[in-house]
Chain A
Amino acid sequence: MSENTTEFGPLEATLPRDLATNNDRLLITRWAAGVLVLAATAFCAHVLNLPLPETLLYLLGFFILAYNGGLTWAISRARLTDHRLYMARLRRFVIVQIALDWLSMAVFLHLTGGITSPALIFFFLHVLMVTILLPGQPPYLYAALAIGVAVAIAALEATGVLPHYIVIPGLPSDLHTDLAYVVAQIIFFATALFATVYLTASIMARLRERDRKIAALFQTTHDVSSTLNLSDVLDQLARNAAQALFVPAASIRTIDEDGDRLRIAAAYGLSQAYFDKGAVELSGNPLARRVLATGPVIVPDTNNEPGLQYPEKVTEEGIQSMLVVPIAGRTRPLGLLRVYAHEPNYFTEDDADFVLTIAQQGATAIENALAHDALQRVDQEREQFVRIVTHELRSPVTGAQSLLSILLRGMLGKLTPKQHDIIERLDRRMDALLALINDLLVFAAAKSGQHDPLDAVPLQPTLRRVIDRFAAQAEEKHLTLTCQEACDELLSVQATEEGLVRILDNLVGNAVKYTPDGGAVRISVAPGTQPGTAAVAVADTGIGIPAEVIDRLGEEFFRASNAKQSGITGTGLGVAIVKQLIDRFGGQMHVESAEGKGTTFTVTLPVVGQEQGKAGAS
């Protein structure tokens, strides 16, 4: 709902661009004009033997070429500065150029016979150009100026203050003093000039309006596709519609699920008091019902519109006319887009078509957002379901194992070796089952948590915590478990805390698990080879991974044959989980292994925060 548009927002962008290209055209035309003045003078004076003030005309030609050169140079310099400054200067240049051109044309008119000169027609050219370049009132002003210049020259020549040059010998030498001729000439000139300005200006206004609408539609398409935040998108659409139509305000209301209440979803240029006017219901708003039933409605005068729910608030807001279009979804109406004007009879059928197009984009945005919400809800429900199911699956297993551990420990009487063996086997099978359930839970959570936002998670402390957890297990197996931190600064990686723990946990856990007694697990953390990344390497002296199956490591439930034969329990989900998480965090995993010698897993993750530059450079 913000109003802080820049001076050259996307909607106004086409106008200055026209100004720039048209200005280039003006410069080229002027080169031609200067050369033409010189050439024509020479031709008329020497071939046609016309009695021209030759020297003065040559001087004029050179003057035109000189100031055109100066302008070209100044504009190319201005182009080097920033865009906004360039545009501001360009506007000034247009005015300077027009002033110089006026001077040249006035002199040219005078030198070629004043009011009897055929050059009078050149003024049309210039007024036409001004009308195309500058919107609003200036063209009329310039037309009046042109007429003023013509009148002034005619008057000064007729009264003998300025000399009168006879360029066309066939014309009577005192034609410029003939009152009827001079007055008629000026009246026709003035009428034609004003008519030209009027017609061109109205065509240009229409063209500019189309330009604005097309730009607004482009912008709208872009807005809809660039963000999933519905409220932002609708705000932008309301603003685009209002700005393209040059009106002060617009709003979007969406229909609630119950199908009656119209909730304000976006607004541009409306007062808080207007929002607070109260609930808008379809049942109390005949106008809204009409729009949803039959399509766009133009209210030419809000004072005479019985269908409004709060007519007095509309009047208070200064709204005199409005245009209301439906936002129609594929299966049901979704809402209304309204634009408001402070003048009556403002909107045209053309405007209605245009706003309807914007409303259709709005419908797409709303339906996308609804679909996205529905997906997220399903995601959450599934996550909750998985959590509960897993708990239900795990409880009996952990309960049974807890009881078995009491038997195994001989707390209820000493077991025979056979009894002990059987119960131990039971316990191991339960272990395997529990591991599978745990991994399935994590795997499902990782799949459904794919929309969780990523944070900056400190890498080294998380890694130390994970390693600490495996210290006892490593000691039991007489493994050397070391961690080397090859950088002083804290690296924060783009991840979720739970996900990062899960990755490190799996890698360190696997290394400890698959390394025989007396081996070594060496972990290192360092800036990645690519700038802006951090790398964690976990190297073990374990059983290794056969080369032919390294590529299959990310597959769900895949376990290498040597891992299966080793008698070590595993689910084949650990690395799949790791891989899935790394992909989500935008990282990479690299595996190097020699069967029987050991494996090195290297995980590279993007670094975030202030440390990024340092980490990338070191």
Chain B
Amino acid sequence: MTKILIIDDDPDMRLANRLILEEAGYEVVEAANSAEGLEMIKADPPALIILDVMMDTTTEGFQTALALRSRAPNSEYEAYHDIPIIMLTAIHDTTSVRFGPDEDYLPVEAFIDKPIKPDKLIATVKKLLDK
């Protein structure tokens, strides 16, 4: 079964995602913070990552996405560059986030606004996994 990792500090949000994705036939694993999530990625890479933005800090999710996509030589996450990432944002109506004055747009595949709409989530996941 295709495995999806959800990294979110909100247990209700994890539950909602899990219920929707399991109904759609995916295997779901959860992490309550980025550190735990990154360990799980290294231990058993998922097919897709759903990542919350605001956790312990307001930009924790962004930092995690940047670490996973880092092009720096010898990045410890080099093997996981190709795992698609969906960012869960509470930032209203955002399609792209410029991360810093020198950074390009945040290198993730999709943004999904909270609250989660089941159809939208499933459609996005399907699209990314079918590629």
Contacts and interface: CB of A to CB of B under 8 A. Distances in A.
Contacts of A497: 98
Interface in A266-322: none
A518 to B, nearest CB: 24
Interface of B: 10, 12-13, 15-17, 19-20, 23, 54, 58, 90, 92-93, 95, 98, 114-118
B93 A469 contact: yes
Contacts of B54: 391
B12 A505 contact: no
A394 B114 contact: yes
B115 A391 contact: no
B116 A402 contact: yes
A430 to B, nearest CB: 8
A399 B95 CA distance: 21
A401 B118 CA distance: 11
Contacts of B90: 391, 394-395, 398
Residue of B13, B16, B20 ringed by the most chain A CB atoms within 10 A: B16
B13 A398 contact: yes
A406 B118 contact: yes
Residue of A406, A411, A441, A442 ringed by the most chain B CB atoms within 10 A: A406
Given A398-B114, A399-B115, A403-B12, 4 more contacts: A400-B12, A401-B115, A402-B115, A403-B15
Contacts, number: 63
Residue of A399, A430, A434 ringed by the most chain B CB atoms within 10 A: A399
Contacts of B92: 438, 441-442
Contact of A403 (B16, B58, B93, B117): B16
B10 A505 contact: no
A432 interface: no
A411 B116 CA distance: 14
Given A399-B13, A399-B16, A438-B92, A411 B118 contact: yes
A465 B15 CA distance: 33
Contacts of B95: 465, 469
Contact of A402 (B23, B58, B93, B114): B114
B8 to A, nearest CB: 10
Interface of A: 387-388, 391, 394-395, 397-406, 409, 411-412, 430, 434, 438, 441-442, 465, 469, 497, 505
A387 B19 contact: no
28 contacts: A388-B58, A391-B54, A391-B90, A394-B114, A395-B90, A398-B13, A398-B114, A399-B10, A399-B12, A399-B16, A399-B115, A401-B115, A402-B16, A402-B114, A403-B15, A403-B16, A405-B116, A406-B20, A406-B118, A411-B20, A411-B23, A412-B19, A430-B115, A438-B92, A465-B95, A469-B93, A497-B98, A505-B93
Contacts of A394: 90, 114
B115 A398 contact: yes
A391 B13 contact: no
Contacts of B118: 405-406, 409, 411
Nearest to A387: B58
A35 to B, nearest CB: 75
A388 to B, nearest CB: 7
A343 B118 CA distance: 84
Given A398-B13, A398-B90, A399-B10, A405 B115 contact: yes
Nearest to A396: B12
Nearest to A468: B95
A497 B23 CA distance: 40
Contact of B12 (A387, A402, A442): A402
Nearest to A442: B92
Contacts of A395: 10, 13, 90
Contacts of A438: 92
Nearest to B88: A398
A6 B33 CA distance: 62
A579 to B, nearest CB: 19
A391 B58 contact: yes
Contacts of A412: 19
Nearest to A403: B16
A456 to B, nearest CB: 15
A465 B98 CA distance: 15
A497 B96 CA distance: 12
Contacts of B115: 397-402, 404-405, 430, 434
Contacts of A469: 93, 95
Q: A-B pairs with the 5 shortest C-beta distances?
A: A401-B115, A398-B114, A402-B16, A399-B12, A402-B116
Residue of A397, A405, A465, A497 ringed by the most chain B CB atoms within 10 A: A405
Contacts of A430: 115
A405 B93 contact: no
A411 B19 contact: yes
A45 to B, nearest CB: 89
Nearest to A465: B95
A398 B23 CA distance: 20
Contacts of A404: 115
B1 to A, nearest CB: 18
A399 to B, nearest CB: 4
A497 B118 CA distance: 31
Contacts of A409: 118
Residue of B93, B115, B116 ringed by the most chain A CB atoms within 10 A: B115
Contacts of B10: 395, 399
B53 to A, nearest CB: 9
A117 B98 CA distance: 91
Nearest to B13: A399
A412 B90 CA distance: 26
A434 B116 CA distance: 13
Contacts of B116: 398, 401-402, 405
Nearest to B92: A438
A438 B90 CA distance: 9
A197 B106 CA distance: 78
Nearest to A412: B19
Nearest to B96: A465
Contacts of A406: 16, 19-20, 118
A391 B115 CA distance: 13
A281 to B, nearest CB: 38
Contacts of A442: 92
Contacts of A505: 93
A489 B113 CA distance: 34
B14 to A, nearest CB: 10
Contacts of B58: 387-388, 391
A406 B19 CA distance: 8
Contacts of A405: 16, 115-118
B122 to A, nearest CB: 10
Residue of A403, A434, A469 ringed by the most chain B CB atoms within 10 A: A403
B93 to A, nearest CB: 6
